[in-house]
Amino acid sequence: MTAKDDRWVVVSGAGGALGSALAAHHADRGRRVLALDQRFDPAKAVPKGITSRTVDLLLEAEVSRAIVESLGAGEGISLLINAVGQIWNEPLLAFRGTKLATHSLDTWRSVTDANLTAPFVVATQVAARMVRHGGGCIINFSSIASGGNAGQAAYSAAKAGIEGLTRTMAIEWGPLKVRVNALSLGFIDVTTTRDAVAKGRLQRYTEKTPLGRLGRLEDVIGAVEFLASNDFVNGAIVKVDGGLRL
């Protein structure tokens, strides 16, 4: 994506900590941003340059309608930042009193919906618009949990799925001038991470990270800018984890 590209940037999961920061970053640089999510904080004002739409990201018709109504028929999309997702912790088996309980099927479905199905729905709807308007770039969000992480079966499975989906999209859509890559994030210092990971555990991960710190929003923004601007990167899974999984 070049500085002269006046096509839209779409951010899914724009109501979350990462998504909202990425939407604001691009709006601050004069890019027109369509922010999509199932909910937004009503107490936060929408920054200038951002069009926000509350939409069920699991429903193709709703996502398509939000794009058409916000952009009209003739506007293109240069970049999709597919940041929708949900961190979830739940063991496959756990003792509850004297009983051995299994991972809930309902939470399995909700977590895989949020982390795999919703990104799939948004990406396919946006890619169709990109193909009609000269191509574009899609950036999905994976996690170091994609390699497997105790207590995060559904989340890990969904993120592994995102990586396979990203590579498949890159193979199929590359000839159509749509590049698809993913960021595999480590522990980023945002409210959702601190809410999902106990303080002591987060400190242990910080100590294990060769750089000795959590990731920052600017680390993620910089990685997004790299993938958006380099036209020869396609199908890559870029780790942004401080070296935690070396």
Tell me which amino acid residue 236 is. Answer: A
Asked whether 12 and 38 are in contact (CB, 8 A), the reply is no
Say which of 40, 108, 141, 155 is annotated catalytic.
155
The residue type at 175? P
**Rama region for 90: left / alpha / beta (φ>0; ψ in -120 to 50; rest):** beta
| Cβ neighbours for 143, distance < 8 A, ≥ 6 positions apart | 155, 156, 159, 184, 185, 186
Catalytic: 155? yes
- Residue 63 backbone class (left: φ over 0; alpha: ψ -120 to 50; beta: rest): alpha
Q: What span, in angstroms and rounded, lies between the C-alpha atoms of 27 and 21?
A: 10
| Contact of 138 with 82, CB cutoff 8 Å | yes
Q: Which residue stretches of the chain are H helix? A: 17-28, 60-71, 105-112, 118-132, 153-173, 191-196, 199-208, 217-229
Which tokens belong to 121?
């729905």
Residues forming the active site: 155
